[in-house]
């Protein structure tokens, strides 16, 4: 059972690290600040529809998912070391 937990932990941690490495974690406000064109909508709701802002938010979501994988993988590794 220990080797199974270790293997799962390492795989989850690796997946998470790749997801985080490929993306940036940021808030919607930061994505608006970075990705908004000079000729944009009047409201944040309109600006959230801009392609650049959508891309930044997608990357942020992937990074968040990667962080979850790293945390869960680390938990599996801790559990494996306790057995």
User: Is residue 58 a contact partner of residue 19, using CB atoms and an 8 Å limit?
Assistant: no
The angle that helices 2-22 and 51-82 make with each other, rounded to 10 degrees, is 160
Using CA atoms in the order 75, 79, 80, 83, what is the torsion angle rounded to 10 degrees? 170
Total domains present in the chain: 1
Q: For each of the chain's 83 residues, which pLDDT tens digit applies?
A: 778 888 888 999 999 888 887 776 677 887 777 777 766 778 888 888 888 888 888 888 888 888 999 999 999 888 888 87
Query: Residue 78 has what pLDDT?
Result: 87
Query: Residue 24 has what pLDDT?
Result: 64
> Structural domain of residue 17, as residue ranges?
2-82
User: In the structure, how many helices (H) and strands (E) does the chain have?
Assistant: 4, 0
């Amino acid at each position: 059972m220990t080797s199974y937990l270790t293997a799962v932990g390492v795989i989850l941690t690796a997946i998470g690290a790749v997801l985080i490495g490929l993306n940036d974690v940021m808030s919607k406000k930061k994505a608006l600040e970075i990705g908004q064109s000079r000729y944009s909508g009047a409201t944040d709701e309109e600006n959230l529809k801009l392609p650049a802002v959508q891309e930044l938010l997608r990357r942020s979501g992937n990074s968040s998912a990667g962080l979850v994988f790293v945390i869960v993988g680390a938990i599996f590794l801790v559990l494996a070391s306790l057995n």
